[in-house]
A and B are shown apart, each in its own frame.
Chain A
Amino acid sequence: MIKVLSHLLLRRCLQAVLVALLVSTVSFFLMHSLSGDLAFRIAAGRYGYDMVTAAAAEAVRVELGLDRPLLQGLILWWQQLLQFDLGDSYLSSAPVIEEIREQFGHTLQLALSALVLSVVIALPIGLIAGLNPHGWLDRVSLTLSIILRAFPPFLLGILLILLLSSKLGITNAANASHEHGGLFLPALTLALSLAAVSSRVARDAMVEVRRSAYFNFARTKGLSDLLALLRHGIRNAAVPVIAYLGVQLVFLMEGVIIIESLFAWPGIGHALAHAVFGRDIPMIQGTAIVMGLLFVLCNTLVDIACMLADPRQRYLASRRADA
C-alpha cells in the first residue's frame, strides 16, 4: 500500500510541476495576446473609467515596465516563479500570494460547504431512488435534477434569494462573512446544482449494486437489507460517486466565479473575474497556477479515496507499480 501511494504521489508531484509551468506560460502568452493597450486597460481597472486618461495610462506603463519585450517579460516571470514569487498585483499593488491566500480561503470555505451540502442532499436521495428504480421518488428526483441542472447558477441564486431571503427572511441575501449568514445561500446554490447530478450518479451506482450477484448473495445468505447495504452496497456504490466528486470540482470552479459575484463573496472566482477585466496579469497567472495545482491535488485525493474504498484498484495500482 505504501509503495502504491508513494508511486502515486511521486507521479502527481511531477504532474504538478508540469501543470504549474504550462499553465503559467500559456496564461502569460494568452494575456499578452489580448487586444487593446495593456497600460490603458490596467489604468481603467485601477482608477475606474472616470479617471482613466492617457496620462494615467502612461504613468502605469512606466511604473510596471510594460514596454519591455515579451520574451524578456517571460524570462523575468519564470525567474520569479522559480523563487516562488508570484509578483505584485497590477491593480492593488499587493503581493499576489497574499491576495490569493486571503481570497482562496473564502473560496475553499464556500466550495467545501457546497460539496458537503451537496453530498448531504444527494446521497440519501440517490440511494433511496436507486433502491426502488422508477418509483415515485426516482421520478421526482429525476425531474428535479433536470430542472436544477438546466438552471444557470446565476438564475438559481436569484430565485433562492427571492425565496429564502426576500420572501421568507430566513437568511441574508449577501454578506461577505460567515457569521452573518452570508455563506448559506451561495453554498446552497452551488450545492443544489452539484446535487442535481451527483444524486443521479449515486442512484445509478445503487441500481448497479442492487442488480449485482454479490448483493443478491448477501441477501440470500440471510443478511438484512440494511446490513447488506452497509456491508456490501455503500462501499461499492461509493466508488463512482467519489470519482464523480472529483469531476464536480471543475463545475465548482466555474460556478464560484458567478456565484461569488452574485452573493458578494470575497473569493478567488470574483477576484479572477476582476483581474481579467483589469488585465491584472500577475493575479491571473497566480490564480491559474493555484487552480491548476488544486486540480492535481484533488485528483490525487480522489485517487487515494477510490483506492481505499476499492481493493481492486489497489491491486491494479500495485501491479502497475511493480511493472
Chain B
Amino acid sequence: MFLCPIHRQPLSIAVAMLSLALLIAMPLMAATDSTKTSLSIVGPWEVSTLEPSRAGYLFLRMQVAEALISTDLEGKPSPGLAERWQVSADGLDWRFFLRPQARFHDGSPVTAASVVMNLQRALSQPGVLSMAPVTGIIAAAPGEVSITLSKPYAMLPMLLAHSSAIILAPAAYNDKGHVRKMLGSGPYQLVRQTLPQQLELALSPHWQGKQPAIKQIHYLSASRPETRALIAESHQADLVFGFDPASMQRLRNNPKVVVKEADLARTITLKLNSGHRFLNNAETRQALSLAINRAGIAKGILRTPELAADQLLPPGIAQWHQTGAGFPKLHTDLERAKALLSAQGWQPGPDGILQRNGERFALKLNAFPDRPELPIIATALQEQFRKLGIEIKVIITNSSEIPLGHRTGTLEMGLVPRNFALVPDPFVALNQDFKTGGGDWGAMQWQNSQVPALLEKIASDTDPDAQARYRHDIILTLQQELPVIPISWYRLPVAVHPQLKGVKVDPLEQSYYISDMYWSSK
C-alpha cells in the first residue's frame, strides 16, 4: 500500500523515458525514398582506398572511371576511352584513338599524355598489364596513344580493359603518386565517400555521351550476406548483389523479389600438386575426379543443381565451353575410381584407407573462408574421398596460403574459387594457370607441353577458327590430365527492384550498365 503512489510515479517516469527513446529513434527511422532518377545499390565489395589496382573494379563497374577499352556482355572488346584502335601488320605497334570530347570529372580534357601516365603507372603496379610484352607507351600525337610490344600479343585490348588500367585525371594524384580523388571520365562522378562502406555518385556535368535516366547512385557495402538478403527482401535497395546459397534459395521462393542471374566465369576447382608422389599421374587425378559427387555438392551446398561442373568453364562462357556431342564430360563413378587406384598399387588398409608400400593415402586440403561455401565443400570432398579410401585433412586458412604453398612446393591440394574473368577473356587467367611451370592458382608441378604451346598460339594467332580449335584442345587436355579438378561453377545473383528496367547482369563483372537502366511505373 505504501508503494502504490510511488508505483504510479516511476511508471510515468518510465513511460516518459521510453517515449524519449522513441523520440531519439524517430528521426533515425526515416526511410529512404527512391526517386525516378536515383538508384541504390548494395553489394559485398568494400572500398578501403581509391587506388585503381585495389578498388578500380568498383569504379569501372559503376561507370565512374573508364579504361581505354570496354567490353560487351559477350566479352568482345568495344570502345571505351579509345573510340577506335588499330594494330600494325607485324602486331607490334598498337594505336589507340581517344574520344575527342572526353572530359575528366574536374573538367579537364582527356589527353594522350594523361592516358600514358596512367598506363605507365598501371604497368608498375600489381595488375595484368605487365603480362603483355610492352616495350613502350607514348603519346604519338594529340589524342593518339601508341603501345609497342616486343612480340605480338593479340590479347592486349583485354588487358587494357582491366580495372587496374582505368584512366584518371592528373589532378586525381597527390605529390606522392597516391590517388587522392576519384576523377574518372565516365558518366558518373564520385561526390561523397564514407570509406570503406559508402559511395554517393551523381551524373557528371562533363559527360558528353548519351544522357542516362539514372542521375544519382548510392552504393552501400554490406559485408554480411544475411544483411544483403534481408535488404533485398524488404526492397530497401534497388540492386542487391551477392547472396549465400541459403539466402538465395529463400529469395528465389519469394514472389516479391525479382532475381536475375548470370553464369560467372568463375569455377571452384581442386588444385592438385601434380608433383606429389601420390598425385603425379593422370590416372590417380582422374580417380579423384570420379569420386567427386558434383551434383550432390551443387544441389546440397550451392542449392543450384545446374552448377555441377562437367568441364572447366560454364555454358555462359560460350567461347570456351565445349558443347560437342563427343566431348567427354566429368562425371561420378566410384567403382571406376577404385579400379584406377587399384591399378596404381593402392590397396585398402585395415581402417579402409588405401595403402601402398606401407604409406597411407593421406593428403592435406587447404581451403579459405572468404566464400562461405568453400569450407563446407572442403568437408564434403573429405567425406567423398574417404569413400574412395583417401584420408583428407582439411585446413581452413588464409587465401594467400595457396599461392604461397604453390611457390614453396608444400601445397598438396587447394580448394580454389578461380576467377577466369580477371580480364574479359578467360585466356589471360588460363594462360596464368597453365603456362609452362603452372600458376599460383592453377597447375602445380604439372608436366605438360601441349597446353602451354596452344596458349602461345592463341596469343599470337588471330584466325577465329584456329582459335576455336586451340580452345577445344586446351579444355580437352585439361579434362583428361586434370591438373586442377573442376567441381562447380558460379552464378552471380542480383536482386532487382521490380520497377527497375534495363538491368543487365554482366557475367564478366565489367559493368553494371547503370546508364542503361530506367524506372518504369509498371
Contact = CB atoms under 8 A, between A and B. Distances in A.
B476 to A, nearest CB: 26
B5 A169 contact: no
Interface residues of A, number: 72
Nearest to B44: A264
A49 B399 contact: yes
A262 B32 contact: no
B227 A161 contact: yes
Given A44-B398, A92-B49, A131-B10, A54 B223 contact: no
A47 B126 contact: yes
A36 B368 CA distance: 13
A176 B403 contact: no
A276 to B, nearest CB: 11
Contact of A131 (B3, B18, B398): B3
A165 B222 CA distance: 15
A175 interface: yes
A165 B7 CA distance: 34
Contact of B221 (A37, A116, A188, A264): A264
B28 interface: yes
B404 interface: yes
B244 interface: no
B241 to A, nearest CB: 13
Given A124-B18, A127-B10, A181-B28, A165 B400 contact: no
A264 B432 CA distance: 35
A225 B13 CA distance: 14
A186 to B, nearest CB: 10
Interface stretch (B140-148, B192-200, B357-365, B498-506): B192-200
B5 A224 contact: yes
Interface stretch (A13-21, A24-32, A55-63, A142-150): A55-63
Contacts of B231: 172-174
Contacts of B263: none
A204 to B, nearest CB: 16
A123 B18 CA distance: 10
Contact of B28 (A55, A171, A173): A171
A226 B5 contact: yes
Nearest to A165: B234
B17 A264 contact: no
Contacts of B194: 176-177, 266
B404 A165 contact: no
Given A43-B400, A174-B227, A229-B6, A266 B197 contact: yes
A52 B223 contact: no
Contacts of B195: 92, 102, 266
B14 A184 contact: no
Contacts of B233: 166
Given A117-B21, A125-B14, A264-B227, A274 B46 contact: yes
Contacts of A57: 400, 403-404
Nearest to B5: A225
Interface string A251-279: 00000000001111110001100100100
A121 interface: yes
Which of A50, A183, A274 has the most chain B CB atoms inside 10 A of its CB?
A50
A200 interface: no
Contact of A54 (B398, B399, B407): B407
Interface in B11-32: 11, 13-14, 17-18, 20-21, 24-25, 28-32
A124 B17 contact: yes
B51 A120 contact: no
Contacts of B14: 124-125, 127-128
B84 interface: no
Given A121-B18, A172-B236, A174-B231, A92 B126 contact: no
Contacts of B283: none
Contact of A40 (B13, B32, B220, B404): B404
A49 to B, nearest CB: 4
Given A93-B49, A158-B226, A132 B24 contact: no
Contacts of A94: 49
A102 B51 CA distance: 18
15 contacts: A36-B397, A37-B400, A52-B403, A53-B432, A92-B49, A92-B195, A124-B17, A132-B7, A165-B234, A180-B30, A182-B28, A219-B2, A261-B224, A265-B197, A266-B194
Given A49-B417, A124-B14, A174-B220, 16 more contacts: A36-B397, A40-B403, A53-B432, A93-B51, A120-B20, A121-B21, A125-B14, A131-B7, A162-B230, A174-B42, A174-B227, A177-B198, A188-B25, A229-B6, A262-B227, A265-B197
